[in-house]
Homo-oligomer: A and B are copies of this chain.
Amino acid sequence: MGQFSDKKGGLATQRHTGRRQVLSVIRDAGQIARIDIADKISGSPATVTAITAELLAEGLIEEHTPETPPSGSPRGRPRVALKIRGAAHMLAGIKVAAHAISVCFLDFEGQEAGQFEAEMPKPALSAPELVAFLDETLRKACEKIGVPLARLSGVGLGVAGIIDAPRGLVYWSPILTARNVPLRDLLAARLPMPVFIDNDANLVAKAEQLFGEGKGVRDFIVVTIEQGVGMGIVIDNRIYRGTRGCGAEFGHTKVQLDGALCRCGQRGCLEAYVADYALLREAGTLNLPDSPTAHARLDTLFQAAKDGDEAAGLIFHRASRMFALGLANIINIFDPALIILSGERMKFDYFYAQEVLDAVKSSVLQIDAPLPDIRIHKWGDLMWAKGAAAYAMEEVSDMSVQEMGKDVG
């Protein structure tokens, strides 16, 4: 990256990189003095002063004078710190799940400004139906939260499935009845602000990086289990997407030759052993009491296993062993510093019980070095939506920086 690596416009790129780094350091720190920014990015104080003057002029950051001066400050005069100006932008994040659409608003500081939820009319929609429903839901959310639609600087959209984020294309998603839907552009055509779309697991990784367990960790992996099994990979502080934008696919890696049938039409996928539908498929063999929803049936199955039903126990036993095998493979391939297990299903302890972690340990390469840190982060749909809003926040932030770069570069 740096001064020489972009084919277009050496100096403009240099300026742009500097501006992005300064903004990112301020965001990470919360509040920070200019001199400390210069230290963190190994830049000269003069450069930092020039860059922060521009960011102040555009209203992206603001000055903040702490009430109590830090000790050691000369003559007790408080040192002026810089912080992100929350009011600079308002962003919306939308997570589309099979059962519901969740919306979350964030200001430019990353402070939550409101939440909204709407039930999906049916689990899978046509492209026009989904776009109309997203448009309608976003407008309702704006009304309820009290933010005019025109006030939004960007919308981030998280969708399960195979997404080419740079092209805004949904190759396949369980919530769409059609393939190859240019969902980003379809939605953007109905809205007055830019739209960004990504695989939902990548957005969880983005949220973990900005607000969660991944803060300050250069390389980490997020694994999510819900309707499917998702993965987000952060390498060198960036989401790794692969050549066609559809890398980091974990749920459809094969854990068994000619194994269980998967929703994707292939056999032996990890999802076909551990996702909700896989557990419920096997649960159909048991004599469980009726449940109104898939969620409730899963709870009933889990309770039966807890209460000692042997067959129910075997379902979870195999699922957790397959999950451990998959996790061990990811560790063997990436040797990451940190793995975050995330998603609603983490409330069931069969996937992260000590015996699962032991199984992971016994399937990774045996070396005299500690295993990666494996952390559990339970959260619901609204946190996924927060990830989508955070994605929009970063993209909008980058656009602001680029536009300014053009003016001054």
Seen from chain A, the residues whose Cβ lies within 8 Å of a Cβ on chain B are 1-10, 13-14, 17-18, 21, 40-44, 162, 164, 171-172, 179-180, 219, 231, 235-236, 240-250, 252-257, 264-266, 268, 321-322, 325, 328-330, 332-337, 362-363, 365-369, 372
Contacts and interface: CB of A to CB of B under 8 A. Distances in A.
Contacts of A21: 4-5
Number of copies: 2
A365 to B, nearest CB: 6
Contacts of A243: 219, 335-337, 372
A332 B41 contact: no
A3 B335 contact: no
B257 A368 contact: no
A255 B335 CA distance: 18
A171 B368 contact: yes
B332 A253 contact: yes
9 contacts: A4-B21, A5-B21, A9-B42, A219-B243, A236-B236, A244-B369, A246-B369, A249-B365, A254-B329
A257 B321 contact: yes
A246 B335 contact: yes
Contact of A2 (B3, B164, B231, B332): B3
Contacts of A369: 164, 171, 244, 246
A10 B249 contact: no
Contact of A4 (B18, B242, B372): B18
A332 B21 CA distance: 32
Contacts of A256: 256-257
Given A2-B2, A244-B369, A362-B266, A8 B42 contact: yes
Judged by DSSP, the binding face of A is loop
The 8 closest A-B pairs by CB, nearest first: A2-B2, A242-B335, A247-B335, A10-B42, A4-B41, A171-B367, A249-B332, A253-B329
Contacts of A171: 365, 367-369
A20 to B, nearest CB: 10
A305 to B, nearest CB: 19
Contacts of A3: 2-3, 14, 17-18, 43
A216 to B, nearest CB: 14
Contact of A43 (B4, B321, B365, B368): B4
Most interface-central of A10, A13, A162, A365 (chain B CB within 10 A): A365
B2 A249 contact: no
A257 B367 contact: no
Contacts of A17: 2-4
Most interface-central of A44, A180, A248, A367 (chain B CB within 10 A): A367
A253 B14 CA distance: 41
A249 B367 CA distance: 12
Given A1-B1, A3-B2, A42-B13, A333 B250 contact: yes
Nearest to A254: B325
